[in-house]
Amino acid sequence: MAAMTARRNILLTAALLAAARTALSQPPDLGPNVFVFNPSMPATAIQQQIDKVYAIEQHSEFGPARYALLFLPGSYKVDVPIGFYTQVLGLGATPDSVRITGNVHADASLPRNNATCTFWRAAENFSVAPAGGAMQWAVSQAAPFRRMHIYGNLVLHQNHGWASGGWMSDDLIDGNVDSGSQQQWIARNSRWGTWTGANWNMVFVGDVNPPAGEWPSPPYTRIATVPVVREKPFLFVDTHGSYLVRIPALRRNSSGITWQDGITPGRTIPLSRFFIAHPADTAAAINMQLAAGKNLLLTPGIYELTGPIRVTRPNTVVLGLGFATLKPVNGTAALTTADVDGVIAAGLLIDAGPVESPVLVEVGPAGSRANHARNPICFDDIFFRVGGAGVGRAQVDLRINSNDTIIDHTWVWRADHGSGVGWDLNTSANGLVVNGNRVTAYGLFVEHHQQYQVVWNGNSGRTYFYQSEIPYDPPDQSSYSSGPDRNGHAIDGWASYKVADGVSTHEAWGLGIYSVFRHPNVELTRAIEAPVEPGVRFHHMITIALDNLGQISHVIDDAGAAATARPHVAQKLAEFP
C-alpha cells in the first residue's frame, strides 16, 4: 500500500509539473491581433497567417487594424512582407535566438517604387538569412528597425525609387548597407561590413565602421559615441516558457550593439507585473492598475480615451505592441507622466482626436525641476499623428517638462494627406516643445505643424539628426508669419527648429529642413532660429525647396543663402556660428 501511494504521489507530481510547464508555455492573452508562432508549426500554416495579415495591411495606410507577429525562439523558413501597423518581433533573449530564412521585407507602398509613404511598421529582435543575399527595407518615417542581425546585405530602397528617411539601432549587418535613394537616415549603435550611398543628410552616431567621408561631400555626419541612451525594452520568452520584459541598462559614451556578448545588460520584469490592456479598456481602468503598481502592456488596437493615461510611479514601463494607438476623444492628453525617475514609454502611436487637445503627451508637469540624470525618463518609438485618419486637432503634440529626458526615435506628424486634412481642419501649432534641461533626442522627425515645428526652451539640449518638412498648405503669407524678430525684422513663416532667446547652451547635428509649398507667394525666412551664444552650436544643416513654389531664404538666422524652387538650388551650411 505504501509503495502504491508513493507511486501515485510520483505520478501526481509529474502530472503537476507537466501541467505547470504547459501553463508556462501558453502565451498570455495578448488579444486576437497578436499571432505567436513556434518552430514546430508547419511553415505553410505560418505563411498563411502572415499572408492574411499582409492582405489587410498592404495598402491600409489609414486603416483601423493593428497586428503583431511574434516568433518564439527557433528557425523558420517563411516569407514575411510587413505592411502598415504591423510589428514583427522575435521572442528570443538575443536576435540570433530567432532565425528566419527567406524574405523579410518592407516594400514601397506607392507606384514607381515610391516608398515615401511606407510608414508605421517594425522589425525587431530577430535574425534574417535573406533569400538572394539582401533584405529590402524600403521605408520612410515611423519604421523601427531594432536589434536585428542580417546574414547578408540590407537595402534601404526599392529599385532606387524615392524614400524619405528612416531609423536603425542596435543592429548587426554582416554585409553591405545600401542607402541608395534614401533622402535622410539615422543609424545609431549599429555595425555593418560596409555602407554605400548618400543623399541629403545621413547621420551615424555610435556606429562601428561608419562610411568614410565628411560633410558636405559626401553628406555624412559621424559622431563616434552616443552620450547617453537606454535601448527600447523588449518582450521575450525564457527557456521555461515564461514571458518577460527586458529593460536594457543605461549606457554612456557607447558605440556598437548591446548583445554582442549575449543578452543585453539590464534587468528583467516578469509579464505578470504588467497589466495587459486591450482596446476596450478605459483610461480609468488602466490608471487604477498603474496606481496599484503594475506596468502596462498595450495590445494592438485603437484605444479611444476619455481621459489621459497617467503614469505616476518611478520606473514604470509602458510598452505597446503592434502600433497600439492612443486616441483622446474629449480634448485631453493621451498620456502624462509625473516628474519621477526612470519612466519608459515605448512603441505607441498617438492619434489626435477631433476635439482639440492642448497637449497629446506631456512628460512631467509644468515647472518640473527634479534631476533625472542617473535614471532618465525614456521615450522610444513614440509616434504622433494629427489628421490623416480623420480630423484631429492639438495645440502641442509632445511637451517635455522633465529634465534629462531621452527621446529615442519619434515622428511627430501633422498629416499632409489622407482624411480630415486642411489648414483649418487638422490644426496643430507645435510638434515638440522642450522645457526641461539636458534633454537629448536621437532621430527627431517633426513635420507640417502650423507654427514652430520644434521649440526648445530648456538648456543643454542635444539633437542627433533632425528631419522636417514645414507645412505644405499655408494659404497665404499672412496666415503663415511669426512677426518681427528680436531686431524688428519682418519674418515670413515660422522657423522649423526654434531655440529660445534665453537658452545659453544647445547643440544639434545633422539637420535637414525642406519646403513643399502648395500656394503661391508663400516663403520661409529662416529654417532655424537660435540665439548667438558661444554654447549654442549647430553642425551640418541642409535646406531644400521642393516642388516649384516658394523658397527658404536662410538656413539659420541670417546665415546661409536661399534654397529656391525655381531654379532649384539646395543650400548646405556646415557650422553655426
DSSP characters over 467-514: EEEPPS---SGGGSB----TTS---BB--SEEE-TT--EEEEEEEEEE
Segment 227-240 mean pLDDT:
98
**What confidence score (pLDDT) does residue 184 get?**
96
Split at pLDDT 50, 70, 90, the class of 123 is very high
Segment 6-18 mean pLDDT:
37
- 15 phi/psi in degrees, rounded to 5: -65, -40
| Nearby residues of 356 by Cβ (< 8 Å), 6 or more positions away | 331, 393, 394, 395, 427
Mean pLDDT estimate for the chain: 95
- CA-closest candidate to residue 121, choices 163, 159, 89: 89
Distance CA 333, CA 362 (A): 7
Q: 168: helix, coil or strand?
A: strand
Cα dihedral value 24, 26, 28, 29, nearest 10: -160
Q: Residue 10: is its pLDDT beyond 90?
A: no
Split at pLDDT 50, 70, 90, the class of 487 is confident
Q: 116: helix, coil or strand?
A: coil
* Cα within 13 Å of Cα(229), Cβ side: 27
Distance CA 167, CA 228 (A): 18
Split at pLDDT 50, 70, 90, the class of 14 is very low
**What confidence score (pLDDT) does residue 342 get?**
98
Domain boundaries, the chain: 470-577
What would the pLDDT profile of 244-294 be if each residue is shown by its tens digit? 999 999 999 999 999 999 999 999 999 999 999 999 999 999 999 999 999
What would the pLDDT profile of 64-76 be if each residue is shown by its tens digit? 999 999 999 999 9
Q: Which residue has the higher pLDDT, 5 or 577?
A: 577
Segment 353-357 mean pLDDT:
98
Distance CA 383, CA 432 (A): 12
Beta strands in 338-427 (DSSP E): 344-351, 357-363, 378-386, 394-400, 406-414
H or E element, residue 429? strand 428-434
Q: Residue 21: is its pLDDT beyond 60?
A: no
Q: Cα Rg for the chain, rounded, in angstroms?
A: 24
- First vs last C-alpha separation in the chain: 92
Q: Are 525 and 553 in contact (CB under 8 A)?
A: yes
**What confidence score (pLDDT) does residue 218 get?**
96
Segment 523-532 mean pLDDT:
97
Segment 197-225 mean pLDDT:
96
Distance CA 5, CA 524 (A): 87
Distance CA 18, CA 16 (A): 5
Please count the helices (runs of H) and the strands (runs of E) in the chain: 3, 47
Which parts of 425-476 fold into alpha helices (H)? Answer: none
Helix, strand, coil abundance in the chain, percent, nearest 5: 10, 45, 45
H or E element, residue 4? helix 2-25
**What confidence score (pLDDT) does residue 371 get?**
98
Split at pLDDT 50, 70, 90, the class of 561 is very high
Q: Residue 539: is its pLDDT beyond 70?
A: yes
Q: Is 469 a catalytic site residue?
A: yes
- CA-closest candidate to residue 528, choices 474, 476, 575, 478: 575
**What confidence score (pLDDT) does residue 483 get?**
85
* Cα within 13 Å of Cα(165), Cβ side: 26
**What confidence score (pLDDT) does residue 1 get?**
40
Amino acid code (one letter) for 533:
E
pTM value?
Answer: 0.95
Q: 45: helix, coil or strand?
A: helix
Q: Residue 296: is its pLDDT beyond 80?
A: yes
Burial class from Cβ neighbours inside 10 Å (0-12, 13-18, 19+) for residue 356 reads middle
Q: Which of 124, 362, 469, 523 is flagged as catalytic?
A: 469
Cα dihedral value 108, 114, 116, 122, nearest 10: 10
Q: Residue 11: is its pLDDT beyond 60?
A: no
Q: Are 12 and 47 in contact (CB under 8 A)?
A: no
- CA-closest candidate to residue 101, choices 69, 123, 133, 72: 133
Strands 243-248 and 234-237: antiparallel
